[in-house]
Structure 1
Amino acid sequence: MRRRTAVLSVSAGVLFAVTSVAGATTVVHDRTTAQQQPAAAGTTVGGAVDPLAAAVTAAQRRLEQVPGDWTTWAALGTAYVEQARVTADPSYYDKADGALARSLALRPDGNDAALAGQAALANARHDFRAAAALGEQVVALNPFSATGWGVLTDARTQLGDTAGATAALQRMLELDPGIASFTRASYDAELRGDRVNARWALEQALATAQSPADEAWCHAHLATLALADGDRDEAAAQVTAGLLATPGDPSLLLVRARVDAGRGDVDAALAGFRAVVEARPLPENVVEYGEYLESLGRDAEAAQQYAVVDTVRRLFAAGGVADDLSVALFAADHGDPGTALAAATAERERRQNTDSADALAWALHSAGRDAEALPLAEEATALGGAGAVALYHRGAIEAALGLDDRARATLTQALDTNPSFSPLLAPRAQQLLDSLAVPA
């Protein structure tokens, strides 16, 4: 299931539409976790021209005519950040870096648009301290920049500054109560375990959606939220509604594959996961496909996917993306405690949030250091919004320490939350719980 800090799934992307009339640049909306249909320039999405590709093309044409237009350089750089995410092509990050640097070279003072783009880029690369510092510069220059408050919200969330993130989000909501702020509000509520308000905020985002891609994204996350609670029927209904808006959207196909896997429809699930990794070969997507294959006993095919993951990660690393979190979790799940510990420790140094606590706890468990792992596992589940994976991790650690009553309660909570939270881990959780059963 969705991990909040999977590569690029929570990168701060700001989508600008660059009009060709007089070279004016108009901010349409910005997103933290928007999952749009990837499209190259000139292609269409849902029967209409893809707005991201159109924005990039318009900006490039404008800059051919007026190379000194610093606002368009900023817009182009930020759109490149978005393109990297929706196409899973990290080479766009270097393009973004260059375009944003060019904007700042042309206008070094008062250029909050370029600084916001740099903050989005830093978030996408998981350099959250740099993103927070840049976001603070943006809102100091322009306190009315909803984009600035948005990227600051993202960075503070990932750094574990929950109060600071909520404060920045509140300011963003006051300035621009639209899709970008409502989606962040949903995420903030989800982190706290407030599923009711998380759904409400996504419904508000859907009501303000201005394009088929926006509608599809909102349905994808409503589906993900439903599936996290084990409601496959609601998740399937949301996927169906989203695909009507944007057929073939990879985020929707991913949720549908998870629903099919949970229902035991192996052929449909395999086809779905395959379509997702072909359209959007992000490391976490390839890992999920591989783990589903592994759960079916198709180890050779799973190994092929895991080999692809290594290649994809190298490409993202070359684009400046740090991916220690998913490396740590994968290594811990697949018998490599040394790699898991090194990656989880690096991630914990980078940010002190619930996800890094969970990853380090699980890495320590894989190395047999459960006494050290337990406080971190407790921290990872303390906010109230912990998913089934983190609860399973804590339950396994409690069981390893002989805390059987606690382990039974935690594992039961994980499986009650979503009995099919992972094709690989959910059966392990059930087996562990069964082994802890109190004799009659």
Structure 2
Amino acid sequence: MAFFRQLPFELFVGLRYTRAKRRNHFISFISLTSMIGIGLGVAALIVVLSVMNGFQEELRNRILGVASHLQITGPDNVLEDWRSLEQKVKGAPHVQAAAPYVMAQGMLSFSQSVQGAIIRGVLPDAEDKVAELGSHMRAGRLQDLKPGEFGVVLGAELAQSLGVVLGDKVVLMAPQGQFTPTGVVPRIKQFTVVGVFEIGMFEYDSGLALIHLDDAARLYRMGENVSGVRLKLDDLFNAPAVARQLGERLMGTGNYYISDWTQQHANFFRAIQMEKRVMFIILALIVAVAAFNIVSTLVMAVTDKRADIAIMRTFGVSPRSIMQIFIVQGALIGMIGTVAGAFFGVLIALNIDTVVPMIERMFGVQFLAKDVYYISDLPSRLLWSDVTVIVVLSFVLSLLATLYPSWRAAKVNPAEALRYE
């Protein structure tokens, strides 16, 4: 009690009003409702933004586990003299590795199953330097792809759809036909399954097959040419700037098309960013509605304390001090709700990988189906900058909600308020 007596008068009375047992229990109920509403809004905002951040990062990492930071291609998907180009770009700033590739479409068949797929011809050792496929192998190794042995590495979903395991023989049909006396027939070659990878993105796991670069060039009759060269940079976010620098460096040496990962998958990340902003606005409005419930609480509190306000005014308390008393009372409600919401929001966001599976088991549901969404797990990445913005926003809205009721309290006429007491 001695501590409270040392506080400034406005803070002491405001805290006293908050702690005191009210005669009107409905005011207490409205205050509790405001705290719970603010807390739920803040917690929901933290969790949703953390999930959106995690989704964006996870999607980017999984895409770049298969795709490349930069890609250089030639006209009509044919790049000639790629070895000299590879030497030129390897010496460029920020470029860490380069790998040639052949990209084409094909039809895979095994027994009675047939599946279309993207066929990528790679050099295993070079591919490991520009992508992370080697770390996502469920069976076999990327290095098991050897020239002339016609081995193939399949995505996990693609292998399951075909019903194949390691060692099985699959037939690959290339759409480019060859002319025979009986007409045009597709080129067909038998490949041995030597590996299975799983990135965790249904798009790649169900539609990508890897073969050796020499086998792809022979099957698709590329000769010494390739489809393009894939590059890995020291900083993936520097890809657009490096693409411009390489464009200037290669100008006049040939016809090249340079694209980076932000262009190849721009729609994904723009959609996520837009959705994140929209969700922030919607949930911020929920926090605002809960915060402005404080208006109702304080208006009723001012009506309930009219006699106390009049007595304080007769003892010389200024209207400004009266206003500050009720600002303290409303700010405390907002602060309790904000702190509680931030605590539970951070707790859930940091343990989303435990909470979501538990809910899925309890109710027998799956939030992210593999065949619908790009990823099947609900990721989370908590940014303390987001938490700070949310907490500050919630507290500022709570303070704004106290201004009108506090102004009304400061305008109470002492004589009129005490007339009927």
Query: What range is the shorter-chain TM-score in?
Result: under 0.3
Question: Comparing both chains, which one has the higher relative contact order based on Cα–Cα distances under 8 Å and sequence gaps of 6 or more?
Answer: 2
Per the normalisation by structure 1, the TM-score is 0.26
Per the normalisation by structure 2, the TM-score is 0.26
Q: Per residue, is there more strand in 1 or in 2?
A: 2
Q: Per residue, is there more helix in 1 or in 2?
A: 1
Bigger Rg over Cα:
2
